[in-house]
Amino acid sequence: MAEKELKNIALLIDADNTTPRGIDPVLTVMAELGQVNIKRAYGNFTKKNLQGWDKYSHKFGILPYQQFDMTTGKNATDMAMTIDAIDLLYQGKVDGFGIMSSDSDFTPLATRLRQDGLIVYGFGSKNKTPDAFKSACTRFIDIDALIAGASDEATPSKATGKAEKSSIDEELVDLLGTAWKAANRDEDGYAQMGEVGSLAGNRSSFDVRNYGFKRLSDLFHSLDQFDVKRRENTLYVKRLR
C-alpha cells in the first residue's frame, strides 16, 4: 500500500515580532499538518535585536529574507511576507500555512488564505497578539506556552497533576462545558472526549498547548469540573459542576 502523501506546508516568520526560540516547538506542531518544506524568515537582520537569527536559520534550514527599513513607520517585513504568501497561494502548491507573528497586520492575510480552504496556524505571544489575528487563524497557539512546554516548564504541577489557577479560567471551563453540552451524551451524561475537543476546537484560540498540556486528556484530568472515564479504548467526559 502506498504511503499517504504528505501535505506541503509553508512557515512564514515575522522576525520583528517573534522569538527564534519558538522555532523548534513550532515546527513540531506544524508536522501535524504535513511536511514543512518552505521555511522563510523576514526582517531587517542588520538590526542588533535580530542578529541572533543567523544560527537558527542555519540550524533549521530557514531562508532569511532581508528587508531594509526604507521609510520610518512603514513595515517592509509585513508587506514582503504578505506578497510571498499570496504568491504561494496562487501557485497552488501549498496546502497550509504557519504564521509566526504577534502582529495584527496579518489578520487580512490569514482571512484570505482561509477563504481558499487552506489551514492557517498562528503562533504569537498570547498577551501581545490581538484577538482579531487569533480569530482569523484556523488555530492560534501561544508561542510562550510552547517554549515553556519544550523546556519542561509546562503549566501542570508535577506533584498534583492539577493545572495552575493562573492558566485556567472560567472562560475555558465554560467553553469546554458548552462543547460537552453540544456533544452526543449517553444516559449517564458522558460524551466522547474527542468529540468535545473537536467542538471546542472550532474556536481558533483554543488549543491545549496554550495551557501547558500536550494532550486533551491531560487537560481534562486536571480539571475538577469534569469526570473522565475510559471505556475500552475510548475516553469519555462529563461535566460535574
Q: Domains of the chain, with CATH numbers?
A: 8-150 (3.40.50.1010), 170-239 (3.30.420.610)
Q: What is the dihedral of CA 105, 59, 152, 52, to 10 degrees?
A: -60
Check if the beta carbon of residue 191 is closer than 8 Å to that of residue 184: yes
Res. 149 pLDDT band, cuts 50 70 90: confident
C-alpha cell read off for 106: 496579518
User: Taking every pair of C-alpha atoms in the chain, what is the biggest distance, in angstroms?
Assistant: 65
Least confident of 20-29, 45-54, 83-92: 45-54
Q: What is the pLDDT of residue 210?
A: 84
Q: What is the pLDDT of residue 158?
A: 42
Max avg pLDDT among 2-6, 111-115, 131-135, 229-233: 111-115
Q: How many CA atoms lie within 13 A of 147 on its CB side?
A: 13
Res. 226 pLDDT band, cuts 50 70 90: very high
Res. 1 pLDDT band, cuts 50 70 90: very low
For residue 71, give the H/E element and its range: none
Is the pLDDT higher at 51 or at 102? 102
Q: What is the pLDDT of residue 152?
A: 56
C-alpha cell read off for 54: 543567523
Check if the beta carbon of residue 43 is closer than 8 Å to that of residue 50: yes
Q: Which strands sit side by side in the sheet containing 226-231, from one edge to the other?
A: 191-192, 234-239, 226-231
Q: What is the pLDDT of residue 70?
A: 63
Secondary structure class of 193 (helix, strand, coil): helix
Check if the beta carbon of residue 25 is closer than 8 Å to that of residue 152: no
Q: At 197, phi and psi to the nearest 5?
A: -65, -40
Is pLDDT at 169 greater than 80 in this prediction? no
This prediction has a pTM of: 0.78
Amino acid code (one letter) for 32: E
Q: Percent of the chain, pLDDT > 90?
A: 45
Res. 5 pLDDT band, cuts 50 70 90: low
Taking Cα atoms as reference points, which of 233, 218, 225 lies closest to residue 176?
A: 225
Is pLDDT at 160 greater than 50 in this prediction? no
Alpha-carbon span 163 to 48, nearest angstrom: 38
Alpha-carbon span 109 to 132, nearest angstrom: 12
